[in-house]
Amino acid sequence: MEDRSCPASASPCGRRAAGRADMIASRLRYQRLATARPSVSAEPAAKVDVTPGILVLGSGPLATTIITRLQTNPRPGYRFMGYVETMNGEYRDRIKDILAGGGVKCVVVALSERRGTLPTDELLDCKANGISVEDGVTFYEKLSGKISLAGLNPSALIFSDGFKRLRFAMLCKRIVDVAVSAIGLILATPFLLIIPLAIKLDSQGPVVFRQERVGQHGRMVRLYKFRSMRCGPESHDQSRWAQKHDARLTRVGALIRRCRLDELPQLWNVLRGDMSFVGPRPDVQSLWDTLVAAVPYYRLRAAVKPGITGWAQVRYHYVSSIEDGIERHEYDLYYIKNMSVWLDVRIIIETLKIVMLGRGAH
């Protein structure tokens, strides 16, 4: 891939044409993939990349996030061709020049402010000529499996097609919860007998750890876990995030956390209906208050039951800072918006892989 500007149209006015080309070259940073042409020879023709090209329109936080993702984590079906900044009114001509060059099949609109800057005529021409136009928030959601909080307007959530809570779907989710928790408790019986003994032999203190956490609609839920940390004042510090290699962990605690076996007592929470098997992880009150104040739309987590595992747990790592909390919430917000039985099944399968293959708890 090479950086080059779109060629200016031939004109008798050489200086004007050259000036226009210089303007585009200096102000429009556009990456264009060369299209391979079949060669008329005995050699096999070069394979043509027919993947639809993506052009990003915008220069704010959301546009930057999308561009970075496309460049650093390319996915099949997405071929980044370039972007157009909208810092001044000349970008409308640039869009026309780029589209005339061919190759672009999708324009992603990632403007921080659309009022007065949305190139309506140009985008209508795109639609009329078979070029798809997608909203930046929706495109990034499909690309990454999370909802970017960068420049996210409330209207993008309010007028979205997500957040559906159909009665039948919620009934199916509850049936899955009861079935999975009941079967899980039966299959986990050997662990429910061995783990408490191992904890007692390894360190002093209770076998089961009880803690109040924020649940659905802000109600407090008493959560149960096998104790994995040493007893002491520092172990009860609810303002601290657990670290991946936390010094407070016991030997048995490190082992059961790696395979998520410390979460087994929460199957009882699921059976009772306090929690769901799949959902955002619940926070203690102090961390909840901190994250609600620091992270946009964090209160939306309370719209659903908390879970033992979740979309963020199979896609992200430990939360040990505000920055981690923001990214975890981007995954959880995706789950809350797109919640379905099929997504739950996918998360359960990914969780089983983590438990059985020992890839480590998130």
Q: Is 278 helix (H, G, I), strand (E, B) or coil?
A: strand
Do 80 and 173 share a domain, yes or no? no
Integer-rounded Cα Rg, in Å, for the chain is 26
Whether 266 maps to a domain, the answer reads yes
The confidence band for 243, taking pLDDT boundaries of 50, 70 and 90, is low
Do 103 and 202 share a domain, yes or no? no
* Range of lowest pLDDT (45-54, 55-64, 183-192, 344-353): 45-54
Share of the chain above pLDDT 90, in %: 53
pLDDT value at residue 77:
79
Do 11 and 82 share a domain, yes or no? yes
Q: Is 263 left (phi over 0), alpha (psi -120 to 50) or beta?
A: alpha
pTM of the model as a whole: 0.79
Q: Is 57 helix (H, G, I), strand (E, B) or coil?
A: strand
Supply the CATH number for residue 72's domain. 3.40.50.10700
The contacts found for 154-158 with CB under 8 angstroms, 24 or more apart, are: 157/297, 157/337
Do 89 and 179 share a domain, yes or no? no
Do 138 and 246 share a domain, yes or no? no
pLDDT value at residue 158:
92
Do 347 and 229 share a domain, yes or no? yes
Cβ-based neighbour number of residue 3 at 10 Å:
10
pLDDT value at residue 2:
41
Whether 362 maps to a domain, the answer reads no
Do 309 and 211 share a domain, yes or no? yes
Out of 158, 189, 206, a domain closes at 158
State which residues form the domain around 33: 2-158
Q: How many domains does the chain have?
A: 2
180/308 Cα distance (integer angstroms): 12
Do 147 and 185 share a domain, yes or no? no
Instruction: Find the Cα–Cα–Cα–Cα dihedral 153, 162, 158, 282, rounded to 10°.
Output: -70
Whether 278 maps to a domain, the answer reads yes
* Range of lowest pLDDT (4-8, 162-166, 245-249, 333-337): 4-8
Out of 124, 139, 158, a domain closes at 158
Do 261 and 288 share a domain, yes or no? yes
Cα Dmax for the chain = 90
C-alpha distances in angstroms, 235 versus 191, 229, 232?
Answer: 24, 7, 5
Structure-block tokens of residue 94: 């640039």
Per-residue DSSP letter, 275: S
Do 204 and 97 share a domain, yes or no? no
Nearest to 96 by CA among 63, 133, 121: 121
CB contact at 8 A, 284 and 292 = no
If you search the block for the tokens 């802000």, which residue do you land on? 218
CB contact at 8 A, 40 and 93 = no
pLDDT mean across residues, the chain:
82
pLDDT value at residue 355:
81
Do 178 and 217 share a domain, yes or no? yes
CB contact at 8 A, 329 and 139 = no
Out of 130, 158, 186, a domain closes at 158
Better-scored residue on pLDDT, 288 or 97 = 288
Do 140 and 174 share a domain, yes or no? no
Whether 350 maps to a domain, the answer reads yes
Nearest to 269 by CA among 341, 209, 195, 359: 209
Nearest to 153 by CA among 55, 57, 295, 297: 297
The confidence band for 140, taking pLDDT boundaries of 50, 70 and 90, is very high
CB contact at 8 A, 357 and 171 = no
For the chain, the straight-line distance linking the first and the last C-alpha, in angstroms and rounded, comes to 37
